[in-house]
Every structure is written in structure tokens, then in C-alpha cells.
Amino acid sequence: MTMTLIDWSARISAMADALSVPDGGFSVKPDDGSDVRAGYAVAVHPEHERIFDRPVTSNDLHEYIAQAKDALSLPGRVLGGWHDPATGRVYLDVSVVTADLSEAMTLARETAQLAIFDFSAMESIPVATPVAA
């Protein structure tokens, strides 16, 4: 599916709306704008993480996509956004989606993430810290 500029504008507006509610968010395939529907999303490019202490606008999303376009063009990457219910902060990131919870947690710890997103439960899962031996 190829999206027109008008379709992308509407899609980006909907993504900004999704970030307006606590624990709201999205994971979108950058090639066609479709939602990811299965697996666990993990932000894997900390250098592209952006944190906002205010509501995120469509303009913010347009700017972020332009800045992160190289990472978003890598195979298997998705555009992610999350509204942390505990702090009210909004995070934008470049993520991967894996079907394996253990792999997702390992990737999340390696990149110092607070949470991953479970699409089957439609909720965030806090990242468990490894237990010292």
C-alpha cells in the first residue's frame, strides 16, 4: 500500500492524537503507515529517542520523522510513540518488533529502555532489571 501526502498528514494527526492519552501510543511501519499488530516493540536506537514534557503535535512528528529517516529506512524498523502514564512524558523512537518476550527484554535492557509494548495485551511492560548473581 502506498500512501499519498494527504493520507500521511491524516495518519500523523491520528498518531499525535494517540499520544494525548496516558499509555497511548503507536508503532507504525514507515513504508506504508500501517499499524504493527503483533509481537513486542522495543526502542533500539537511543540516539533517536526524543522525550517531550508537553503534548506532541503533528509538526513535532513531521520533524522527528525527517530527523530519524535514516534509521527508519533500516530493515524491520518502525516508528514508535508512547505517553508514559507515570510521568506524563511522551517518547518518540525507532523500534524493532520481535515475537519473543525474552529477546525484547534483552534488547530493552541493552538500550536502557523503561518499557516495551506487548501488542497482544495492548499494554506496556516495564523492563525487568537482571537479578545480580
H-run or E-run covering 11: helix 5-18
Domain ranges of the chain: 5-126
3-state percent helix, strand, coil for the chain, nearest multiple of 5: 30, 25, 40
Q: Three cell numbers at 86?
A: 507515570
Percent of the chain's residues with pLDDT above 90: 52
Q: Is the pLDDT of residue 52 over 90?
A: yes
How much is the mean pLDDT over the chain? 87
pLDDT greater than 70 at residue 1: no
